[in-house]
Amino acid sequence: MKNPRNMEDSEKQYPLPSLTQIFVLCSLLLCLRVQKGEALKKKVSGVYVFGDSTVDPGNNNFINTPFKSNFPPYGRDFPKQIPTGRFTNGKLGTDFTASYMGLKELVPPYLDPKLSNKDLITGVSFASAGSGFDPLTPAITNVIPIPKQLEYFKGCKKRLERVLGNKQRVGQHLEEAVFFVSAGTNDFVVNYFTLPIRRKSFTLLAYQQFVLQHLIQFIQNLWTEGGRKFLVAGLPPMGCLPIMITLNSDHAFLQRSCMDKYSSAARNYNLMLQHELRSMQLNMSGLKISYIDTYGPLDNMIHAHDSFGFEDVESGCCGSGYIEAGILCNKYSAVCSDPSKYLFWDSIHPSQKAYHSLFLASRPTIDALINQ
């Protein structure tokens, strides 16, 4: 015998939704789609990237330097597990950014001989892992100096003239492009805090100003070459990099934790950088420039790691995670079973998941720059 309650439920009549309810539902779905997809109101013509390993998709593959990552286990979570030369297990933040802008899924290295004309138009990276604004920094590992990256961009412009037809079209194209600059960490981590040369000539404050002056000059040079929209990344909490903890902490292996001596240098530098960027925007015609905060989001991931799904924020996934990077992170290295649980892929560089989280944190800044 049927349960009377079930019979009662089956006999209930549910009214059809009204046109007003249908309209509201569709509107909500449309809003969700906009939030999930692009929030950009204006089109971006291309993205041109300069800097160090945080934005180098493989330029170092094509130069004579020991500072490479075009071998396993790098690229472990990249499509088809290809070690492209990115110093992480998968994609970089600039890859997520270019995809969000509707340009391409991956930003290619400018030195790739297979680079297509379309790649030149939609954007490339001139960055070189190990580079920095201090001219001494790239000389340490024989990588591409920032001024040389500028020269490569000038060559890119000439190629664009042949593709687009004339200088005027190239100028219009570059006005709608985004220039992404990310460097400076190596100047402090690899250079100032590790080698004695600069410390003999500069106090920390003087060195911060020295690095900033080179950055400002570089942006001015890109502006002269036609760049108008800039995203400039600040320094991360350097005292939290696994390699810095290993080399400088009294508790390198037990009770590892961030070292504020080095992180505070990054915080102060970032404040100075933001001041300089505001000043440049006021004084340079047509310039739109925004600061990308990497310190805050990474600091949040470290101190609230559970909410981001990270289990280890003090060592890298590759090898011991304390010192391995570049050639020390290789096919013979033990690798963690799930890199998404690690903030760092190796002892210096974030994992793909961390890069994606950094991109998500920067999206409001990206939107504001492009939509203004």
- Catalytic site positions: 53, 346, 349
Q: What is the pLDDT of residue 195?
A: 96
Q: What is the pLDDT of residue 149?
A: 98
What's the alpha-carbon Rg for the chain, to the nearest Å?
A: 24
Domains of the chain (ranges, CATH numbers): 43-371 (3.40.50.1110)
Q: What is the pLDDT of residue 250?
A: 85
Q: What is the pLDDT of residue 28?
A: 42
Separation of alpha carbons 262 and 309, rounded Å: 26
DSSP for residue 348: S
Q: What is the pLDDT of residue 298?
A: 98
Residue 341 and residue 352 in contact, taking contact as beta carbons nearer than 8 Å: no
Of 344, 338, 318, nearest to 71 (Cα)? 318
Where are the strands (E) in the chain, listed by range? 47-51, 123-125, 178-182, 229-233, 288-292, 312-316, 342-344
Q: What is the pLDDT of residue 33?
A: 35
Q: What is the pLDDT of residue 253?
A: 82
DSSP labels for 67-120?
----STTTTTTSGGG---S-SSSS--HHHHHHHHTTS-SSPPBTT-TT--HHHH
All residue ranges of the chain with pLDDT < 50 are 1-17, 19-38
Separation of alpha carbons 87 and 365, rounded Å: 25
pLDDT tens digit sequence for 254-283: 889 999 999 999 999 999 999 999 999 999
Measure the CA angle with vertex 34, ends 176 and 293; round to 5°: 60
Separation of alpha carbons 249 and 173, rounded Å: 49
Structure token pair of residue 318: 């590759």
